[in-house]
Structure 1
Amino acid sequence: MNTSNRIASEQGVVLLQYVARVLFATLAVLYFHHTPAFFFTLPQATPWVIFVAYVVLQLLLLFWRPANADIFASALDLVTLGIVLLLDIGNPPPTMALLFIAVLSNGLLYGLKRFLIMLAAAEVVLTVVLPIRLSYVTDNQASASLFLLAALTGCMLYFGLMIWRNQTLARAALEATWQDPDTGFISHQALVSTAGWLVPLHDRISSPLTLALIEHEDLALLADRVAQRIRRSDVAARYGDQQLALLLPCTATAAAEQLLNNLRDRNPGMRAALMTLNDGDAALEQALSHLEGSMARTTNEDGHWLAHAPPLNR
């Protein structure tokens, strides 16, 4: 397994999250180490105590991995950052940015729903922390903190819209890859990627699998007629500009010919090539390409519209 596969795995993502948490916690504790005082009077070692406790608890969640460990880890982030905000003497507090980094990272990793939950939870934390801080500062300092909160909240809402947009586009791209928009059948790419298992399956159960390639100048009309004639177990897919590929499980050559004849009666000018696979090791894409070569021998004339492809040469 290479490095990119390790990072893409669930374990790799969890480890990457832990490294990021330790990194930001280290930055925060170094910030407090070089800060002359805290917002409230506390021992100088307080940030280091919080840092060690936070890192150890996250490490326990990393190795223990209880049910919903990622939710517990995110909740620990929010609680810890709420405490950190009460320590930060800055007005507005720079550590508020870490709260929104935690929200954004959850959205990028777990999707829009987790993002919105974390954003709401972060606002709850701020609802508790900010009134405490604002009660000890002047009006000018309070307005700076409120402006930073409003700006960061606006950024988070914008990022949330971008996450939603990207998810919508990804779903649309997946649907476009799977389904051909012109015919309503599965696309050529989806056919060769997912339907190849039918070939060895039918060889194993000693049942014929017949492939057909059909072509007509009015592809939309042909697709509509095919949808009315095929069974639920049959597979129809877009193949080329004006062609459809049909996979007819448990169908002998004679039965497939009858189907094609019925389609031809309703679609004059249709041409077709037909082949029953008897080799369980044949590749589906190779068989369809072989059928396409046989299709070149057909014409629109009544006696030459159907071609029987010869067996595949291995």
Structure 2
Amino acid sequence: MQYLARALFALLAVFYFHNTDQFYFALPQATPCLLFFAYAGLQLALLIWRPSNGDVFSSALDLLTLGIVMLLDAGSPPPTMALLFVAVLSNGLLHGLKRFLIMLAGAEIVLAFVLPIRLSYASTPDSSASLFLMAALSICMLYFGLMIWRNQVLARAALEATWRDPDTDFISREALVSTAGWLVPLHDRISSPLTLVLIQHDELPQLSDQVAQRIRRSDVAARYDATQLALLLPCTATAAAEQLLNDLRDRHPGMRAALMTLADGDIALEQALAHLEQTMARTTEDDSHWLAHAAPIH
């Protein structure tokens, strides 16, 4: 697709030169066609050969060819200057902000060589028009670069919000279900207990601070819903999990919890968490009913 776009814009430039009366410098009329075939042939060779840095060579060839095209363009300011910034835009859309900035710098370097050559042969009014067009297009490119950077920041923020809960600084429920399911068959294979815990409390951010201080680096904590945390405690028996929950309950009265030590490696993590959520309905804030043990899943 990128090669076809390059060929299309190159043909557009050929048609433009075909309908102009003269070039900026005296050259044979066949020059644009020869330039087109040379450019398209080199780009096709890079497309077929596919060297390790082929896209970089293609972009550099774009800048070099457009610099030559601007020297041929008799328009003042040269309309083909727009193609230079089209190349910058396309690289930014395809390869991101870093390539966009590199191409923008390369375009400015090409203009720094081409415009002085053109302006040395031009009258003052023509010089002003060319410089104004270059400045306007450069500012537009900088604005477009800021928009690319903004979109990248927003995309990273959206991804972070999806995978990490901002209130508790634990991973989200989606991240837990998507990435931690492998712990269930692993602990079944090594015959090690894996205990799942759901904790419910109205002041979840404060509780999460205590949980973060008490759990081990091998444990997994996640925001499960508006008032619940989910814990995966590898190599942890039921009694050890109960001790952890009792300590948390002493610091946070009103906390409720449900736990289950998995004994079947074929159970899906999402199924086990849903089973714990149903078990949580049996708990109350009373000291004698705040903790519930989930029945084994059959």
> Taking structure 1 as the reference length, what is the TM-score of the superposition?
0.92
Structure 2: distance between partners of 1:157 and 1:248 = 50
Q: 1:58 aligns with which of 32, 36, 43?
A: 43
The amino acid of 1:202's aligned partner reads H
Kindly indicate whether residue 226 of structure 2 is the aligned counterpart of residue 257 of structure 1: no
* Alignment match, 2:210: 225
Q: CA deviation at 1:287?
A: 1.2
The amino acid of 2:17's aligned partner reads F
Query: What runs of 5+ residues in structure 2 fail to find an aligned partner?
Result: none
The amino acid of 1:218's aligned partner reads E
Q: CA RMSD in A?
A: 1.2
Per-residue CA deviations over 1:160-213 (Å, capped at 9, x if unaligned) read: 111111111111111111111111111112111222222222223222211100
Q: CA deviation at 1:126?
A: 0.4
Kindly indicate whether residue 165 of structure 2 is the aligned counterpart of residue 202 of structure 1: no
* Alignment match, 1:215: 200
Q: CA deviation at 1:280?
A: 2.2
* Alignment match, 1:8: none
Q: 1:268 aligns with which of 245, 253, 256?
A: 253
Structure 1: distance between partners of 2:190 and 2:3 = 50
Q: 2:162 aligns with which of 177, 181, 205?
A: 177
- The total of aligned residue pairs comes to 298
Structure 1: distance between partners of 2:84 and 2:182 = 49
Per-residue CA deviations over 1:240-261 (Å, capped at 9, x if unaligned) read: 1111000111212222122112
Identity of aligned residues (%): 77
Q: 3-state SS of the aligned residue for 1:276?
A: strand
Structure 1: distance between partners of 2:77 and 2:219 = 65
Kindly indicate whether residue 34 of structure 2 is the aligned counterpart of residue 49 of structure 1: yes
Q: 3-state SS of the aligned residue for 2:230?
A: strand
Kindly indicate whether residue 250 of structure 2 is the aligned counterpart of residue 245 of structure 1: no
Q: 1:68 aligns with which of 50, 53, 56?
A: 53
Q: 1:290 aligns with which of 275, 280, 293?
A: 275
Per-residue CA deviations over 1:97-147 (Å, capped at 9, x if unaligned) read: 000011111112222222111111111100100111111121111111111
Kindly indicate whether residue 278 of structure 2 is the aligned counterpart of residue 278 of structure 1: no
The amino acid of 1:44's aligned partner reads Q
* Greater than 3 Å deviation, 4+ residue runs: none
Query: What runs of 5+ residues in structure 1 fail to find an aligned partner?
Result: 1-15
- Using the TM superposition, name which of 194-203 and 234-243 deviates more: 194-203
> Taking structure 2 as the reference length, what is the TM-score of the superposition?
0.96
Structure 2: distance between partners of 1:224 and 1:175 = 20
Kindly indicate whether residue 17 of structure 2 is the aligned counterpart of residue 28 of structure 1: no
The amino acid of 2:146's aligned partner reads L
| Mapping 1:103-182, distance limit 5 Å | 103-182=88-167
Structure 1: distance between partners of 2:23 and 2:266 = 73
Q: CA deviation at 1:28?
A: 1.0
Structure 2: distance between partners of 1:118 and 1:241 = 47
Structure 2: distance between partners of 1:56 and 1:199 = 57
- Using the TM superposition, name which of 283-292 and 192-201 deviates more: 192-201
- Using the TM superposition, name which of 73-82 and 266-275 deviates more: 266-275
The amino acid of 1:237's aligned partner reads A
Q: CA deviation at 1:275?
A: 0.9
Q: CA deviation at 1:51?
A: 0.8
Structure 1: distance between partners of 2:82 and 2:111 = 12
Q: CA deviation at 1:279?
A: 2.3
| Mapping 1:75-94, distance limit 5 Å | 75-94=60-79
Per-residue CA deviations over 1:264-292 (Å, capped at 9, x if unaligned) read: 22222211001112222222122111100
